[in-house]
Amino acid sequence: MRIYRRNPDTILAIGRGQWREQAGNGPLGFVCLLPLNQDGLDALFDGRMDTGAPEDRFIARQWERPAAIYFWGIYISPTIAGGISLVMERLTSDKFRGLPVFCKAANDKARHLFESIGFTMGARHGDIYAPGIMTCRRLTDAERHGEADLPAAPYDTWRPGVPGTAGRRNAIGITVVHDVNQLLMVHAIRAATYLAEQSIPFAEDVDGNDLTATHLLGFVGDEPAGCLRIRYFAGFVKLERLAVLPRFRKSRLALKLVKAGIELCRTKGYTRFYGQTAANIAPIWEHFGFVLRQGGGINYLTDETYYEADLVVPPAEDALSPDSGAVVLVRPEGQWDRPGILERISGDQ
């Protein structure tokens, strides 16, 4: 009640049918929200807030726009659990639209409930990552309609036809290859670079590993312009087949592809990388901390000499794990931060 007096928007009651002033037959429930001000948001992540008994100073007043929303408590029966969707709809109002939404799950049952309405384990605020806080970021109207830049991982920045990404003529976007058409684009880029420019035999480039690897495809505007292949081994990954079409080599696409490959693998839990590079493009790999191995290099079927290189990076704080959530782990590769087709179908039903 202390928090309620601070801001009446903190407690929402849920019932079925016409609302009644006094308790009677039929289920009742409530959802408690904390509209956090900026200090409250900071305190949630730096440990200053006791979420069991938060101080008034962390709670925004009713007339203020909060910095974030925290699901403080839920008491509800299965027969009226659908009322939570009305609470989520309330968060699309002008006062709350676009705010990050957080919660903590008291047990597995609560975690499954939050996952069913779009929350995922792990949350970040600035430089602080909190694995025990769940997050459910709310999109703004501009983001929903493609009128604003969508925050995305470096391996998931290509949005065909969306202003600010591939919609701009010279904008660089990167995606994980998800279909045969995109894989054909990869082969076309490699054919134009490795086969045509370097006279590499076809059988060396198309070596049978393409169907067991992850491919990153880079776009400049709407034009497929570069690619990178990633192969996974126990304890390390190999980044290879970096290729950029000649007319796009003055862009930063090659750097963005390598960065995207590293971050994709860090998200999957890898910290050790291995590669082989020709001397003329070694600076690209060294830019990210790859160290060339000593020795005279390796010669294959051409006159080009390749040098082995190694990189070890810190683990990602939000790396995927078996506890990342069932809905997260069935999403398409590289799109773990947004709902997949199974969730959209379920939502339609």
Can you give the CATH number for the domain in which 64 is found?
3.40.630
pLDDT at 1 over 80: yes
pLDDT above 90: residue 341? no
Residues 59 and 188 in one domain: no
| Concatenated DSSP letters of 100-152 | -EEE--SSHHHHHHHHHTT-EEEEEETTEEEEEEEE-PPPPHHHHTT-SPPP-
Whether the per-residue pLDDT at 29 is higher than 50: the answer is yes
Q: Return the DSSP state at 61.
A: P
Total count of residues recorded for the chain: 349
Question: Of 115, 138, 161, which residue is a domain's last?
Answer: 138
Q: What is the DSSP letter of 24?
A: -
The residue assigned the tokens 């604003």 is: 148
Query: Is residue 28's pLDDT more than 60?
Result: yes
Same domain for 85 and 188?
A: no
Tell me the average pLDDT across 50-68: 90
How many whole angstroms separate alpha carbon 16 and alpha carbon 44?
Answer: 33
The tokens for 84 are: 């939570």
Q: Residue 259 is inside which H or E element, if any?
A: helix 253-267
Q: Higher pLDDT residue, 349 or 112?
A: 112
| Rounded Cα–Cα distance for residues 177 and 195 (Å) | 21
Nearby residues of 20 by Cβ (< 8 Å), 6 or more positions away: none
pLDDT of residue 300 exceeding 50, the answer is yes
pLDDT at 89: 67
Lowest-pLDDT range of 141-155, 191-205, 284-298: 141-155
Q: What is the pLDDT of residue 22?
A: 60
Q: Is residue 11 part of a domain?
A: yes
Q: Report residue 227's pLDDT band, with 50, 70 and 90 as the boundaries.
A: very high
CA 314 to centroid of chain Cα atoms: 18
Question: Given 138, 159, 194, which residue is the final one in a domain?
Answer: 138
Residue range 322-332: average pLDDT?
Answer: 84
Instruction: Please check whether residue 143 lies inside any domain of the structure.
Output: no
Same domain, 192 and 102: no
285 with 200, same domain: the answer is yes
Task: Mention every residue, 6+ apart, whose C-beta is less than 8 A from residue 295.
Answer: 307, 308
Q: How far is CA 263 from CA 49, 93, 155, 216, 318, in A?
A: 32, 35, 7, 12, 11
User: What value, to the nearest 5°, has the Cα angle with vertex 49 and ends 46 and 53?
Assistant: 165
Look up the domain containing 21 and give its range: 2-138
Asked whether residue 154 is assigned to any structural domain, the reply reads no
| Averaged pLDDT, 202-224 | 91
Indicate the average pLDDT of the chain: 83
**Phi/psi at 77 (nearest 5 deg)?**
-100, 160
- The string of pLDDT tens digits covering residues 124-157 is 888 788 888 988 754 444 434 444 444 578 999 9
- Taking phi over 0 as left and psi of -120 to 50 as alpha, with beta for the rest, 121 belongs to beta
For residues 133 and 256, state if they share a domain: no
Domain count, the chain: 2
In a domain, 84, yes or no: yes
Handedness of CA 322, 328, 332, 334 (dihedral sign): negative
| Same domain, yes or no: 285 and 187 | yes
Kindly report the CATH number assigned to the domain that includes residue 277.
Answer: 3.40.630.30
d(C-alpha 152, C-alpha 174), whole Å: 10
pTM of the model: 0.60
The tokens describing 287, both together, are 């830019």
Q: What is the pLDDT, as a whole number, of residue 167?
A: 43
Percent of the chain with pLDDT over 90: 39
